Amino acid sequence: MEDKNLKILNTFDIYSLPNLDVAVLGALEMLSREELPNLDLSKIGERPLVVGSANAHAVGRIIFKDTQARYSEEGDLMENIKNFANTDSIVIVSASGGKHANEVAKKLSGVPVWLFTNNKDAHAKEFVDKDRVVVFPKNREPYTYNTSTYLSMIFSQTKENPEEIFYHIENIKKLVPYNFGKYDSFVMVVPSEFDEVRGMFRTKFDELFGGNVSVRVFTSEEVKHAKTVIPSDRELTIHFDFSSKMEIQTKNKDKHLYIPLRDSASYGEMISVGYFVIGKIQEAHPAYFKNNIVEYTKDASEIFNQKINPIVE
């Protein structure tokens, strides 16, 4: 592994923003070398309330999926604290440890509060006991990508091997077509085991394409229920599934793309492969994100009343 994607991430500027696929491979390169925190969820409590916005919310659900955790968006947190009986801790999941996480941490009292973040200088740390702050590694990335950040949290829990996933993506590159630009609509079908990635993939399309390129994301069971009644020449369906099931599924290849996952895949591989493909879709379309992210972060800085840069160092 030559770390060529990491070199790009360490040196790009606002005029040479990388696409999402580069960020994915750079994240896997970094995670192959970095030591991740050893997550012992039993220390956090039997019934934590896990709090996060957008993809952080999904990441929290992935990390705590085998526990009795309950989940909340930041906007309805105080109501959920009242409604969920026997909550014995609260976990804030926030890559930056700022923005809304700051306000949430300020409000909490009465139960232990934990912070999962990638920012050693997170503002929210001020309101959380230092022994309950878990800092995960990250790469330098464009704002909103949050590829290395959330993958590092997920790999800490799933214990997947990032180097093996890196080489799996290298092996399937030849399956990814160069004509993604002819489609302005996509359907992504994921194994039912990975239902939490549906919102994560939709969020990435929102961030990278706005209303210019659309996506619909379903599990392999959900897609059977009248989701594809209306055909379109401008829509491509991308199927992700375990390698052992691919031979059965690839009989009809018209307007369908099949991307295999290894049979050992967990959420880390599913997100890495899916984000890689989304990055290739980004590469094939106009630079919507790159042309707008500077102005967006200016507006976001005002909304959150803190400086937000288009490049997260």
The CATH code of the domain that includes 105 is 3.40.50.10490
Q: Residues 120, 174: one domain? A: no
217 in a domain, yes or no? yes
Q: State how far the Cα of 210 lies from the Cα of 214, in Å rounded to an integer.
A: 8
Q: Residues 171, 93: one domain? A: no
Residue pLDDT, tens place only, 183-237: 999 999 999 999 999 999 999 999 999 999 999 999 999 988 888 888 888 999 9
Q: Which one-letter amino acid corresponds to residue 201?
A: F
Q: Residues 118, 237: one domain? A: no
Q: State how far the Cα of 231 lies from the Cα of 266, in Å rounded to an integer.
A: 31
Q: Residues 281, 184: one domain? A: yes
Q: Residues 118, 223: one domain? A: no
C-alpha angle 148-60-62 in degrees, rounded to nearest 5: 85
What is the mean predicted confidence (pLDDT) over 123-146? Answer: 91
Q: Residues 77, 121: one domain? A: yes
DSSP string, 186-235: EEEEE-GGGTTHHHHHHHHHHHHHTTSSEEEEEETTGGGTTSSSS--TTE
Q: Residues 51, 91: one domain? A: yes
Tokens encoding 74: 């930041």
Identify the pLDDT of residue 211.
95
Q: Residues 220, 259: one domain? A: yes
CA dihedral 66, 242, 202, 273 (to 10 degrees): 100
Is residue 282's pLDDT more than 70? Answer: yes
Identify the pLDDT of residue 74.
73
Could you count the other beta carbons within 10 Å of the beta carbon of residue 91? 24
Q: Residues 76, 191: one domain? A: no
Domain tally for the chain? 2
Q: Is 157 helix (H, G, I), strand (E, B) or coil?
A: helix
Is residue 252's pLDDT more than 80? Answer: no
Structural domain including 172 reads 162-289
> 107 falls in which pLDDT band (50, 70, 90)?
low
Q: Residues 110, 172: one domain? A: no
Residue pLDDT, tens place only, 20-65: 999 999 999 999 999 999 888 988 988 899 998 889 999 999 999 9
Identify the pLDDT of residue 249.
57
Residue pLDDT, tens place only, 150-172: 999 999 999 999 999 999 999 99
301 in a domain, yes or no? no
Is residue 263's pLDDT more than 70? Answer: yes
CB 96, CB 103: distance < 8 Å: no
Q: Residues 182, 92: one domain? A: no
* Prediction pTM value: 0.93
Q: State how far the Cα of 239 lies from the Cα of 188, in Å rounded to an integer.
A: 6
CB 30, CB 51: distance < 8 Å: no
151 in a domain, yes or no? no
Q: State how far the Cα of 216 lies from the Cα of 293, in Å rounded to an integer.
A: 24
Is residue 19's pLDDT more than 90? Answer: yes
Q: State how far the Cα of 150 lies from the Cα of 234, in Å rounded to an integer.
A: 32
Identify the pLDDT of residue 210.
96
Q: Residues 171, 229: one domain? A: yes
